[in-house]
Amino acid sequence: MRLGVLDVGSNTVHLLVVDAHPGGRPLPAHSHKADLRLAELLEGDGSIGPDGVDRLVNVVHDALQAAEDKGVEEILPFATSAVREATNADDVLARVREETGVELRVLTGEEEARLTFLAVRRWFGWSAGKLLVLDIGGGSLEIAYGIDEEPDTAVSLPLGAGRLTAGWLPGDPPDPASIRSLRRHVRAQIARTVGEFTRFGAPDHVVATSKTFRQLARIGGAARSAEGVYVQRDLKRESLEAWVPRLAGMTAAERAELPGVSEGRAGQLLAGALVAEGAMDLFGVERVEVCPWALREGIILRRLDHMGTAMDTH
């Protein structure tokens, strides 16, 4: 069947259409994206302003039309940290429901981490052993660890690249004092959680997902996306440590000239790099492998598992 996942994230609203059946690998059929940057559209009181809500409703309408055009039978709509933490989240969800008919499911940070972990586990398989998974979104950083399909522990921290850029890095390029303050903040937040993970022992494989990690790996020399999903892409801490001061001195326009960096994400890349560097350093990780699957695939896989279970009981 043809499924659509509608992901209302902190940076983008993304409809991923896949051909899928229980027990099979979901095959991407279509992708429809709109840059919304909800994390940057928050008002001073933490609410999503009228303009942001209008834009969200319009983008959801467009995504529904795209899904209909592509013959999608079922849409799995969800929202992450920007909606989850908005002070007017209930009003936003009600407005989307009334005007589009879409009932957005708001994921908790821990659910995000667990579903992303499921996708990574399915991608790499059991032979990958104990996995540590890092995922930097627009609004939050998710970390999960485990040996099964469900992680042993999972946390979500308010360290997304969009959120931190808007809150901590004014200026283009930002001034060194702001960068130092953000670096301290990021490392203090991550350091609080390290003990939750290290008590389980060292991971066998450390994996990163998300656009931020893909872009950092690309500027560090990893293969282009055009070379396909099966090419291994790594990000080394040594490479990241060399790039952070360079990114700090660049304007957003200069970062957008780097290989694999989109204009829409260039402004957030420094904050994302500081989070990636902090996480790799504090967890003692020299290298992460970038996984092409993440939260959207986790949502699809969980849905297919439930369908398979329902079929088994009939």
Whether the CB-CB separation of 77 and 102 falls below 8 Å is answered with yes
Q: Which residues contact 149 (CB under 8 A, 6 or more apart)?
A: 117, 118, 121, 122
Q: Are residues 240 and 175 in the same domain?
A: yes
Q: Is residue 313 part of a domain?
A: no
311 within domain boundaries: no
Question: Does 52 reside within a domain?
Answer: yes
DSSP the chain: -EEEEEEE-SSEEEEEEEE--TTS--EEEEEEEEE--GGGSB-TTSPBPHHHHHHHHHHHHHHHHHHHHTT-SEEEEEE-HHHHT-TTHHHHHHHHHHHH---PEEPPHHHHHHHHHHHHHHHH-GGG-SEEEEEE-SS-EEEEEESSSS-SEEEEES--HHHHHHHH--BTTBPHHHHHHHHHHHHHHHHHHHHHHHTT---SEEEEESHHHHHHHHHTTPPPGGG-TTS--EEEHHHHHHHHHHHHTS-HHHHTTSTT--HHHHTTHHHHHHHHHHHHHHTT-SEEEEPS--HHHHHHHHHHHHHHHHHHH-
- The Cβ of residue 54 has, within 10 Å, a number of other Cβ atoms equal to 12
Q: Are residues 120 and 20 in the same domain?
A: no
Q: Verify that 182 and 274 share a domain, yes or no.
A: yes
CB-based contact 112:151 (threshold 8 Å): no
Q: Do residue 149 and residue 136 come from a single domain?
A: yes
In terms of domains, do 58 and 205 share one?
Answer: no
Q: For residue 53, give its domain range.
A: 2-106
Same domain, 41 and 137: no
Q: Are residues 155 and 79 in the same domain?
A: no
- Domain-located, residue 157: yes
Query: Among 106, 127, 157, where does a domain finish?
Result: 106
Residue 310 counted as domain residue: no
Residues 77 and 142 in one domain: no
Please report whether residue 300 resides in a domain: no
What total number of domains does the chain contain? 2
**Which of 93, 40, 101, 90 lies closest to 65 in space, CA to CA?**
101
Residue at a domain's end among 86, 106, 126:
106
CATH code of 46's domain: 3.30.420.40
Q: Are 72 and 199 in the same domain?
A: no
- The whole-number mean pLDDT for each consecutive block of 10 residues of the chain, a chain of 314 residues, reads 95 95 92 88 89 95 97 96 94 97 97 98 97 96 98 97 93 96 98 96 97 97 94 97 98 97 94 98 98 96 86 59
Q: What's the burial of 33, exposed, middle or buried (CB within 10 Å: 0-12/13-18/19+)? A: middle
Nearest by Cα to 113 from 85, 83, 81: 81
Q: Does 158 share its domain with 272?
A: yes
Q: Answer whether residue 203 is part of any domain.
A: yes
Co-location of 114 and 76 in the same domain: no
CATH number at residue 140: 3.30.420.150
Per DSSP bridges, beta strands 153-157 and 141-146 are antiparallel
Position 49 in a domain:
yes
In the listed set 71, 106, 141, which residue is the last one of a domain according to the structure? 106
Tell me, yes or no, whether 102 and 138 share the same domain: no
